[in-house]
């Protein structure tokens, strides 16, 4: 990785630092509120999900769409980099930005499940599957945002990936091999949950590799 | 020893749905300032973006500082400063952050010169880019480009939307760049006054084509407006190199792009006045002549 690409990766962390900080605090607070009762659990879980989803969408909008719209892309591309370097830096930089918040949010959620006496530990496998799904979902969103040139298309990708989270919760959460163990006192790590992890990881890798094979090879980027 | 040309374009073309750039060929030598003049939509920005490797040509060959574009853009752009009127810095970062970024990327970064420019342009390092006005944005982008001391400056309408004082400040800085004759500037504008002030070579573009390219002095020497008053019943002789004519009764105004004493001699004592033309007049006459010739 060239010096300029490294600088651009760091640039993403710098310009999004306030968003990372505030979203991190928001997700941690939401997880902290969840064990305080049934209503608090629902409010906390919903807030936690909203913070992570909204943060991902904001990153795609600010980091990719607005950079193009507000013409700062021209400044970045005037630096000694190729289109491929730009796509690599953007992909890595924004993914790192998401990863920082994701790590905070997931750590808080795991801690909440394991520490809170009223929250069953059986929720842990599904919490991890959902968390990994959200990471994958962001990678898909980023892939779409880097590929799409129009604002409308990026918005469509945001809407579709957001809807996909609800679909994931309703379908994966309803699988008997998972649903039956959600209220268990100890986590149950069965073949189904591992298969979910494997599929998520495969999609994650594809979503991260795709922009390098498509957007990075573009000859016209403006 | 042959010096590497700073920009070479040969037969470059780029087609869009409603616009196409056709057969663009020109060279920019070290130490030269080329003014790219054209009306809105002439293809100036497209040509400049091609030179910067931001878009790729459909046909033709582009080399910048000897590097093929866009393939070797990462290497070529180490020595190219690019500023465009619609370019914006990163909104959430300060000018100081941008300066640190440039200093860490370009070994040639001149911190003392950057400090001089920041004072001269009345900017502040701690200002967030999103709080800069249009003029301040252009000045900040120029500061970042100039303080790197690049061999080639590519400026796309940098004076557009600036007040006369700001324009004067920027043009003065460009003149300063040219004290080093190994550096060159490609400068696009539809403001012919700015172009005339700093350019030594001028290329006119219209509707995606180069309509003329020459030294500034050559343009100014070759183009003339000749006012003729014919006697009763007199007719204008057939004259070469007349690219425009307007008539009002016995009075005729001829525009030539190849002025010579011989031409005046052929008109004899019917000539009432011979006027030098400004670059703007030459530009307009040139564009109109080529548009009519194409129709």
> pLDDT digits over B95-115, tens only?
999 999 999 999 999 999 999
Q: Which residue of A has its CA nearest to B142?
A: A75
- Model pLDDT for residues A31-43, shown as the tens digit of each residue: 999 888 889 999 9
A100-114, B146-160, B213-227, B231-245: range with lowest mean pLDDT? B231-245
Q: Do A75 and B75 touch (CB under 8 A)?
A: no
Is residue B99 within 8 A of residue A105, CB to CB? The reply is: no
What pLDDT, on the 0 to 100 scale, is given for residue B228? 92
A107-116, A202-211, B102-111, B183-192: range with lowest mean pLDDT? B183-192
What is d(CA B39, CA B207) in angstroms, rounded to the nearest whole number? 8
Which residues of chain B have a CB within 8 Å of the CB of A66?
A: 91
Place of tokens 């994931």: A168
A77 near B CB under 8 A: yes
Q: Do A221 and B55 touch (CB under 8 A)?
A: yes
A221 near B CB under 8 A: yes
Of A14, A15, A77, the CB nearest to B54: A77
Which residues of chain A have a CB within 8 Å of the CB of B69?
A: none
Residue B1 has pLDDT above 60, yes or no: no
Which residues of chain A have a CB within 8 Å of the CB of B84?
A: 74
Short-list A98, A102, A97, A95, CA closest to A48: A102
Nearest-CA distance from A139 to chain B in Å?
A: 23
B253's tokens: 């105004």
What is d(CA A137, CA A165) in angstroms, rounded to the nearest whole number? 8
* B258 vs B232, more confident: B258
Domain ranges of chain B: 30-55+71-214, 224-276
DSSP-assigned letter for residue B94: B
Residue B29 has pLDDT above 70, yes or no: yes
Report in angstroms the alpha-carbon separations of B67 from A46, A79, A153, B63. Answer: 54, 16, 35, 5
Q: Do B78 and A15 touch (CB under 8 A)?
A: no
What pLDDT, on the 0 to 100 scale, is given for residue A149? 79
What is d(CA B138, CA B133) in angstroms, rounded to the nearest whole number? 9
pLDDT-based confidence at residue B141 (cuts at 50, 70, 90): very high
Q: Do B77 and A85 touch (CB under 8 A)?
A: no
What pLDDT, on the 0 to 100 scale, is given for residue B11? 95
For residues A123-136, average pLDDT: 95
Which residues of chain B have a CB within 8 Å of the CB of A69?
A: none
Short-list B162, B193, B190, B187, CA closest to B174: B187
What pLDDT, on the 0 to 100 scale, is given for residue A131? 96
For chain A positions 157-216, those within 8 Å of chain B (CB to CB) are: none
Q: Do A80 and B105 touch (CB under 8 A)?
A: yes
Of B56, B86, B90, the CB nearest to A15: B90
Helix (H, G, I), strand (E, B) or coil at B87: coil
Q: Which residues of B touch A (CB under 8 A)?
A: 49, 52-56, 70, 73-78, 80, 82, 84, 86-93, 97, 101, 104-105, 129, 141, 145
A146's tokens: 């880097």
What pLDDT, on the 0 to 100 scale, is given for residue A95? 96
B172's tokens: 């003065």
What pLDDT, on the 0 to 100 scale, is given for residue B203? 94
Residue A104 has pLDDT above 80, yes or no: yes
Angle between helical axes of B134-146 and B111-120 (0-180°, round to 10): 160
What is d(CA B204, CA B212) in angstroms, rounded to the nearest whole number? 5
Report in angstroms the alpha-carbon separations of A82 from A5, B52, B245, B283. Answer: 10, 11, 50, 36
Domain ranges of chain A: 3-217
> Which residues, listed in sequence order, are joined to residue B255 by a DSSP beta bridge?
B225, B244
Which residues of chain B have a CB within 8 Å of the CB of A67?
A: 90
Q: Which residue of A has its CA nearest to B141?
A: A75
Task: Assign domain B30-55+71-214 one CATH number from 3.30.70.2740, 1.20.140.10, 3.40.50.300, 3.10.105.10.
Answer: 3.40.50.300
pLDDT-based confidence at residue B236 (cuts at 50, 70, 90): confident
What pLDDT, on the 0 to 100 scale, is given for residue B156? 93
Q: Do A75 and B49 touch (CB under 8 A)?
A: no
Report in angstroms the alpha-carbon separations of A161 from A142, A147, A168, A209, B58. Answer: 10, 15, 10, 18, 36
What pLDDT, on the 0 to 100 scale, is given for residue B84? 92
B80-89, B192-201, B217-226: range with lowest mean pLDDT? B192-201
Q: Which residue of B has its CA nearest to A18?
A: B92
- Express as a percent the part of chain B with pLDDT over 90: 59
Helix (H, G, I), strand (E, B) or coil at B228: strand
Short-list B176, B182, B196, CA closest to B120: B176
What's the whole-number average pLDDT of chain B?
A: 90
For residues B146-171, average pLDDT: 87
**Helical H runs in chain B?**
44-52, 73-76, 95-105, 111-120, 134-146, 164-177, 192-198, 216-222, 261-267, 279-294
pLDDT-based confidence at residue B293 (cuts at 50, 70, 90): confident
Element (H, E) at B252: strand B251-256
Q: Do B74 and A77 touch (CB under 8 A)?
A: no
What is d(CA B92, CA A59) in angstroms, rounded to the nearest whole number? 13
Is residue B32 within 8 A of residue B86, CB to CB? The reply is: no
Is residue B70 reached through a cis peptide bond, with omega within 30 degrees of 0 on the bond before it? yes
Of A71, A81, A220, the CB nearest to B74: A81
Which residues of chain B have a CB within 8 Å of the CB of A76?
A: 90
Q: Which residues, other chains included, contact A89 with Cβ-Cβ below 8 Å and sequence gap of 6+?
A: A4, A5, A6, A8, A9, A11, A12, A81
What pLDDT, on the 0 to 100 scale, is given for residue A26? 95
For residues A192-215, average pLDDT: 93
Of B53, B73, B89, the CB nearest to A75: B89
For residues A129-152, average pLDDT: 92
Q: What is the DSSP secondary-structure string of B96-158?
A: HHHHHHHHHH-TT--HHHHHHHHHHTT--TT-BGGG--HHHHHHHHHHHHHTT--SEEEEEST
pLDDT-based confidence at residue B176 (cuts at 50, 70, 90): confident
> Which residues, listed in sequence order, are joined to residue B14 by a DSSP beta bridge?
B21
What pLDDT, on the 0 to 100 scale, is given for residue B223? 93
What pLDDT, on the 0 to 100 scale, is given for residue B167? 84
Which residues of chain B have a CB within 8 Å of the CB of A78?
A: 52, 77, 80, 82, 87, 145
For chain A positions 87-146, those within 8 Å of chain B (CB to CB) are: none
pLDDT-based confidence at residue B2 (cuts at 50, 70, 90): low
Q: Which residue of A has its CA nearest to B154?
A: A78
A48-52, A77-81, A116-120, B177-181: range with lowest mean pLDDT? B177-181
What pLDDT, on the 0 to 100 scale, is given for residue A75? 93
A-B CB pairs within 8 A amount to: 79
């Amino acid at each position: 990785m060239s010096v300029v690409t490294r600088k651009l990766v760091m640039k993403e962390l710098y310009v999004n630092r306030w968003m990372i900080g505030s979203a991190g605090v928001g997700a941690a607070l939401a997880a902290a509120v969840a064990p305080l009762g049934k209503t608090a659990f629902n409010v906390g879980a919903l807030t936690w999900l909203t913070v992570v989803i909204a943060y991902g969408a904001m990153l795609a909008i600010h980091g990719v769409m607005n950079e193009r719209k507000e013409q700062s892309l021209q400044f970045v591309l005037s630096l000694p980099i190729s289109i491929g370097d730009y796509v690599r830096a953007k992909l890595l930089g924004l993914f790192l930005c998401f990863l920082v918040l994701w790590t905070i949010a997931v750590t808080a959620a795991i801690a909440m499940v394991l520490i809170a006496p009223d929250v069953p530990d059986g929720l842990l496998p599904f919490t991890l599957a959902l968390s990994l799904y959200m990471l994958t979902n962001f990678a898909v969103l980023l892939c779409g945002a880097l590929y799409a040139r129009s604002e409308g298309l990026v918005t469509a990708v945001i809407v579709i990936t957001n809807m996909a989270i609800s679909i994931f919760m309703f379908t994966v959460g309803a699988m008997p091999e998972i649903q039956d163990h959600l209220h268990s006192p100890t986590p149950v790590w069965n073949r189904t949950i591992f298969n979910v992890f494997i599929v998520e990881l495969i999609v994650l890798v594809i979503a991260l590799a795709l922009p390098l094979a498509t957007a990075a090879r573009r000859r016209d980027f403006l | 020893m042959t010096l590497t040309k700073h920009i070479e374009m040969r037969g470059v073309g780029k087609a869009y749905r409603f616009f196409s750039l056709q057969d663009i060929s020109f060279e920019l030598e070290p130490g030269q300032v080329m003014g790219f003049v054209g009306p809105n939509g002439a293809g100036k920005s497209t040509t400049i973006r091609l030179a910067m490797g931001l878009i790729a040509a459909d046909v033709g060959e582009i080399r910048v500082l000897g590097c093929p574009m866009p393939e070797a853009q990462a290497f070529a752009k180490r020595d190219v400063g690019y500023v465009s009127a619609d370019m914006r810095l990163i909104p959430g970062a300060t000018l100081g952050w941008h300066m640190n970024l440039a200093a860490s990327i370009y070994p040639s970064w001149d911190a003392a010169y950057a400090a001089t420019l920041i004072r001269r342009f009345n900017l502040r390092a701690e200002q967030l880019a999103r709080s800069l006005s249009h003029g301040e944005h252009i000045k900040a982008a120029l500061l970042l480009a100039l303080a790197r001391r690049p061999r080639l400056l590519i400026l796309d309408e940098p004076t557009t939307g600036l007040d006369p004082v700001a324009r004067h400040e920027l043009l003065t800085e460009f003149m300063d760049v040219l004290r080093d004759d190994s550096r060159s500037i490609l400068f696009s504008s539809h403001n012919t006054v700015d172009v005339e002030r700093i350019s030594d070579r001028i290329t006119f573009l219209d509707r995606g084509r180069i309509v003329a390219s020459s030294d500034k002095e050559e343009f100014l020497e070759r183009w003339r407006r000749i006012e003729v008053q014919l006697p009763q019943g007199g007719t204008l002789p057939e004259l070469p190199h007349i690219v425009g004519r307007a008539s009002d009764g016995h009075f005729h105004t001829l525009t030539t792009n190849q002025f010579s004493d011989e031409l005046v001699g052929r008109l004899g004592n019917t000539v009432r006045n011979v006027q030098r033309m400004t670059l703007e007049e030459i530009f307009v006459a040139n564009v109109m002549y080529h548009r009519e010739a194409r129709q």
